[in-house]
């Protein structure tokens, strides 16, 4: 890549600024574990929201999104539903409120809050700790491999070293340097440093998005785009089949990519995405940095606002940049890409576009922005995982009376240890490709059934959770190694059913243990669902308790939220390809759904805090009520 002295200077100034900010903030993190991992529950929701958005603004995801927009056009807006992306809507509508009411520090501690103590509860606690730690190691290895390739493509120096008989490649040298810098400020300052640096990183990235969007909009015309795309590329709606044929364009090889992806039966794919999406979203967030931001919020309502703001601030800037790079590539890079023939690498679209179209100076800002996106995601994972080792293993089972200083020292050591292990995996990424796929596919594939039932079914116990997670893990692993050619989403119902079998088997093997703990969970969390016997007992003991009757309102708000989120995906794309009529239609939907969520969700959040305070701290609630009565 052509990179000037000015660009390099900007990148180094960014790295120096991040280190300075991380160390400057770090003094706030040394008080106790709560301060180190959750910022003492004192960070404002909009700071956490910006931090969360920065953590989700990763390089690999952006490169992938550019490539699918290039290939599938407007229909690519549906493809992220594979994960599904609208699980964030479920979180901000109600799950963030339920989760924050626990006052837990980690997802594993939340499991203890849900199931109490005993054999089944301990097994469920241990398996979620293993899930969190192993998945973080896998992601660190993934990031290590990715950032090395990225730095090699943008920086001009060859840092390869011969150490005895071992050759340390330039990619790995760059990866070690960037991971080291990120780890230093992360372990030094904990959550405070992570949030502060991620906010800075978010603004750098957002500025970069608008710069490249302006450049693309003023460089590419609607006529040029129309000449470069196949029929149907601009159609958001679809039938049973994709019906997108690149044969008549300069890139007929794109058809091979569509066939390889297995997305030609788009109608069937969409139905499976809906099926998986509903169950996966009901399960809630996995125990990583996203859950950590929810638990770090000051109150349940602020946890919900944090999750809402993550979508609100991130989607439009990000998709402006994605659409900008896609149209630049379609118009100007098609001849160069056609020369690759059947070896066409769509992940090269983004670096090729940066190299050819972004001017010096702005290129440095953009490259620093992508570096910021990596560092934000990496630091979020590095900060989240050690809490499970220190708080959920060492403090819970080994030394519950140690000093806070010792816990923080062990947290720093745990962070370093996890990074080292992750880097070792990254060094062997080529030979551990199947293991990386197992971590990202099998672990998450086995997560859904057990974590959906924990919210909505009173009889579900710790043993059911353990066996449900284990059965899901087994089913996903068998699929990965025995049937790797089958698209994952098409076997999701089988994995879900097998995991559900484990949940039911484990649940009914033993009677419900820790009934009082389950009642306490229900009383504090106030979930809707199948809680009949527990609800009756709680109401008998506390006649003032009011059950959750918000299922219908939450369902409608989720539907509105999905439309609201989707509008923020397609509006920037329509803007960039000059489809102004469609853009205005979706702007109208965005305004309508924003109004709906303001009236039927945002305005009710204060009630969630009052109910939580009344249940969790009745003395304080009574004092507040009395104070209000006196004032009146």
Residue 393 backbone phi and psi in degrees, to 5: -115, -65
At 504, the pLDDT band (50, 70, 90 cuts) reads: very high
pLDDT tens-digit map of 230-239: 999 999 999 9
Out of 265-269, 324-328, 539-543, 554-558, give the one with best mean pLDDT: 554-558
Residue 455 has pLDDT above 80, yes or no: yes
DSSP string, 507-565: HHHS----HHHHHHHHHHH---SB-HHHHHHHHHH-TT------HHHHHHHHHHHHHHH
pLDDT tens-digit map of 476-486: 888 877 887 77
At 628, the pLDDT band (50, 70, 90 cuts) reads: very low
Residue 190 has pLDDT above 60, yes or no: yes
Q: What pLDDT was estimated at residue 621?
A: 43
Alpha-helical segments (H) within 155-262: 170-219, 222-228, 254-261
Q: What pLDDT was estimated at residue 630?
A: 41
Smallest CA-to-CA distance from 73 within 246, 243, 262, 232 is with 232
Q: What is each CA distance from 400 to 223, 231, 406, 526, in whole angstroms? A: 68, 65, 11, 30
| Strand (E) or helix (H) holding 167 | strand 166-168
pLDDT tens-digit map of 297-342: 999 999 999 999 999 999 999 999 999 989 998 988 877 777 766 6
| Cβ atoms of residues 474 and 497 within 8 Å | no
| Cβ atoms of residues 79 and 397 within 8 Å | no
- Long-range residue pairs from 537-544, CB within 8 A, at least 24 positions apart, any chain: none
- The whole-number average pLDDT for the span 163-188 is 79
Q: How far apart are CA 278 and CA 387, in angstroms?
A: 29
Domain membership flag for residue 328:
no
Domain-ending residue, one of 431, 448, 480: 431
CA atoms 175, 84, 483, 75: torsion sign: negative
Domain membership flag for residue 595:
no
Domain-ending residue, one of 431, 451, 483: 431
How remote is the C-alpha of 303 from its chain's centroid? 15
Q: How far apart are CA 29 and CA 77, in angstroms?
A: 40
Residue 259 has pLDDT above 70, yes or no: yes
Give the number of domains in the chain.
Answer: 2
DSSP 3-state assignment of 301? Answer: helix
Q: How far apart are CA 55 and CA 437, in angstroms?
A: 21
| Strand (E) or helix (H) holding 163 | strand 161-163
Residue scoring higher pLDDT (433 or 20)? 20
Q: What pLDDT was estimated at residue 431?
A: 47
Domain membership flag for residue 381:
yes
- The whole-number average pLDDT for the span 407-417 is 86
Q: How far apart are CA 48 and CA 381, in angstroms?
A: 15
Q: How far apart are CA 260 and CA 277, in angstroms?
A: 23
Domain that holds residue 626: 604-632
Q: How far apart are CA 630 and CA 632, in angstroms?
A: 5
Q: What pLDDT was estimated at residue 128?
A: 87
Alpha carbons within 13 A on the beta-carbon side of 143: 35
Q: How far apart are CA 591 and CA 597, in angstroms?
A: 10
Percentage of the chain exceeding pLDDT 70: 88
pLDDT tens-digit map of 134-167: 878 877 877 777 777 777 766 778 888 777 667 7
Q: How far apart are CA 606 and CA 598, in angstroms?
A: 12
Q: What pLDDT was estimated at residue 622?
A: 43
Q: What pLDDT was estimated at residue 432?
A: 47
How remote is the C-alpha of 402 from its chain's centroid? 33
Q: What pLDDT was estimated at residue 629?
A: 41
- The whole-number average pLDDT for the span 253-268 is 86
Alpha-helical segments (H) within 73-106: 87-90, 96-100
Q: How far apart are CA 273 and CA 78, in angstroms?
A: 9
pTM more than 0.75: yes
How remote is the C-alpha of 78 from its chain's centroid? 17
Average pLDDT over the chain, rounded to whole? Answer: 84
pLDDT tens-digit map of 381-406: 777 778 888 888 888 889 988 888 88
Axis-axis angle for helices 45-56, 289-296 (nearest 10):
180
At 632, the pLDDT band (50, 70, 90 cuts) reads: very low
Domain membership flag for residue 322:
no
- CATH number of 240's domain: 1.20.1740
User: Encoding tokens for residue 218?
Assistant: 């003023």
DSSP 3-state assignment of 344? Answer: coil
Q: What letter does residue 359 receive in the DSSP assignment?
A: P
Domain-ending residue, one of 383, 398, 431: 431
Residue 453 has pLDDT above 50, yes or no: yes
Residue 627 has pLDDT above 60, yes or no: no
| Cβ atoms of residues 280 and 84 within 8 Å | yes
Q: What is each CA distance from 367 to 14, 53, 55, 213, 292, in whole angstroms? A: 10, 18, 17, 15, 28
At 437, the pLDDT band (50, 70, 90 cuts) reads: low
Domain membership flag for residue 469:
no
Look up tokens 């949030």; give the residue: 195
Smallest CA-to-CA distance from 134 within 287, 290, 272 is with 287
Look up tokens 């991040």; give the residue: 18
Residue 28 has pLDDT above 70, yes or no: no
Q: What pLDDT was estimated at residue 562?
A: 97
Q: How far apart are CA 20 and CA 12, in angstroms?
A: 12
Q: What pLDDT was estimated at residue 78?
A: 95
Alpha-helical segments (H) within 428-461: 433-437, 443-445, 448-456
Domain membership flag for residue 528:
no
Domain membership flag for residue 627:
yes
Residue 109 has pLDDT above 70, yes or no: yes
Residue 72 has pLDDT above 80, yes or no: yes
Percentage of the chain exceeding pLDDT 90: 36
- Long-range residue pairs from 221-224, CB within 8 A, at least 24 positions apart, any chain: 221/578, 222/577, 222/578, 224/331
Domain membership flag for residue 394:
yes
DSSP 3-state assignment of 166? Answer: strand
Residue 436 has pLDDT above 80, yes or no: no
Q: How far apart are CA 372 and CA 14, in angstroms?
A: 9
Look up tokens 């969409």; give the residue: 270
Residue scoring higher pLDDT (111 or 436)? 111
User: Encoding tokens for residue 534?
Assistant: 């527990």
| Cβ atoms of residues 460 and 454 within 8 Å | yes
Q: What pLDDT was estimated at residue 505?
A: 95
Residue scoring higher pLDDT (161 or 445)? 161
């Amino acid at each position: 890549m052509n990179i000037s002295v000015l660009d390099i200077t900007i990148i180094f100034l960014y790295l120096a600024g991040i280190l300075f900010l991380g160390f400057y903030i770090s003094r706030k993190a040394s008080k106790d574990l709560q301060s180190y991992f959750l910022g003492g529950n004192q960070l404002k929701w909009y700071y956490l929201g910006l931090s969360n958005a920065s953590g989700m603004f990763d390089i690999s995801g952006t490169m992938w999104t550019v490539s699918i927009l290039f290939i599938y056009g407007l229909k690519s807006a549906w493809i992220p539903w594979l994960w599904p992306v609208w699980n964030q809507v479920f979180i901000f509508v109600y799950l963030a409120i339920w989760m924050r009411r626990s006052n837990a520090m980690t997802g594993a501690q939340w499991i203890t809050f849900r199931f109490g103590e005993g054999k089944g509860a301990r097994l469920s606690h241990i398996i979620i700790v293993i899930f969190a730690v192993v998945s973080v190691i896998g992601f660190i290895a993934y990031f290590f491999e990715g950032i090395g390739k990225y730095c090699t493509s943008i920086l001009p120096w060859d840092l390869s070293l011969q150490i005895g008989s071992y050759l340390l490649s330039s990619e790995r040298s760059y990866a070690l340097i960037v991971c080291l810098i990120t780890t230093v400020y992360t372990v030094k300052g904990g959550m405070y440093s992570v949030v502060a640096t991620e906010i800075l990183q978010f603004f750098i990235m957002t500025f970069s998005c608008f710069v490249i969007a302006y450049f693309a909009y003023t460089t590419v015309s609607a006529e040029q785009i129309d000449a470069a795309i196949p029929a149907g590329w601009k159609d958001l709606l679809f039938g049973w089949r994709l019906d997108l044929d690149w044969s008549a364009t300069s890139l007929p090889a794109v058809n091979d990519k569509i066939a390889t992806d297995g997305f030609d039966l788009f109608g069937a794919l969409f139905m499976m995405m809906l099926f998986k999406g509903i169950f996966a979203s009901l399960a809630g967030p996995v125990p990583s940095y996203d859950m950590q931001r929810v638990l770090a919020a000051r109150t349940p309502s602020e946890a919900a606002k944090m999750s809402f703001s993550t979508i609100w601030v991130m989607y439009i800037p990000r998709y402006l940049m994605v659409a900008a790079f896609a149209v630049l590539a379609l118009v100007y890079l098609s001849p160069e890409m056609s020369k690759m023939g059947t070896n066409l690498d769509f992940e090269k679209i983004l670096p090729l576009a940066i190299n050819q179209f972004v001017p010096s100076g702005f290129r440095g800002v953009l490259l620093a922005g992508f570096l910021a996106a990596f560092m934000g995601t990496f630091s979020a994972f590095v900060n989240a995982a050690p809490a499970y080792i220190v708080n959920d293993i060492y403090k819970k089972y080994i030394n519950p009376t140690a000093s806070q200083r010792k816990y923080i020292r062990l947290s720093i050591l745990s962070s370093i240890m996890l990074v080292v292990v992750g880097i070792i995996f990254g060094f062997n990424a080529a030979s551990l490709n199947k293991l990386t796929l197992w971590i990202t596919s099998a672990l998450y594939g086995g997560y859904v059934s057990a974590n959906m039932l924990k919210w909505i079914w009173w009889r579900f116990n710790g043993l059911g959770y353990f066996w449900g997670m284990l059965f899901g893990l087994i089913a996903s692993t068998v699929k990965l190694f025995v049937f790797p050619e089958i698209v994952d989403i098409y076997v999701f119902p089988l994995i879900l059913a097998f995991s559900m079998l484990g949940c039911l088997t484990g649940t009914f093997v033993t009677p419900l243990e820790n009934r009082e703990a389950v009642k306490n969970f229900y009383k504090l969390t106030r979930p809707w669902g199948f809680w009949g016997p527990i609800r009756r007992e709680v109401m008998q003991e506390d006649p003032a308790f009011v059950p959750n009757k918000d299922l219908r309102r939450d369902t409608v708000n989720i539907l509105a939220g999905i439309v609201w989120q989707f509008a923020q995906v397609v509006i920037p794309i329509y803007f960039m390809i000059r489809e102004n009529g469609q853009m205005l239609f979706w702007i109208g939907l965005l305004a309508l759904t924003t109004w709906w969520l303001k009236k039927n969700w945002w305005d009710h959040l204060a009630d969630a805090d009052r109910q939580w305070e009344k249940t969790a701290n009745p003395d304080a609630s009574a004092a507040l009520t009395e104070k209000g009565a006196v004032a009146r």
